[in-house]
Amino acid sequence: MMQRKRKLLGTVALLLLVGIYAVLAVAVAVVLQVRNVSKFAELAYYAVAGLLWTLPAAWLISWMQRPDR
């Protein structure tokens, strides 16, 4: 696949990833009732959840940047 097409697909995938991940992170917080725990635990959850999406995003970006063969 040409890099130009990978970048287009990757951009759409990143937008979907961020949107779906945000909804899932909030849903997990609601199910786990994060508001009812200590402020430190709430902060830790949101810090981890806020950074966890970068792992699949980094893989996707590296795939998008791969040179053409």
pTM of the shown model: 0.83
**Helical residues (DSSP H) of the chain, grouped into ranges:** 3-31, 39-52, 54-65
Cα 38 to Cα 59: distance, rounded to the nearest angstrom: 33
Report, as an integer, the average pLDDT of 52-64: 96
How does residue 36 score in pLDDT terms, banded at 50, 70 and 90?
confident
Kindly report the average pLDDT of the chain as a whole number.
Answer: 94
| Statement: residue 46 has pLDDT above 90 | yes
Domain locations along the chain = 3-65
| pLDDT interval class at 44 (50, 70, 90) | very high
What is the rounded average pLDDT of the residues 30-44?
89
Q: For residue 56, how many other CB atoms are within 10 A of its CB?
A: 13
Helix/strand/coil for 50: helix
What is the rounded radius of gyration, in angstroms, for the C-alpha atoms of the chain?
Answer: 16
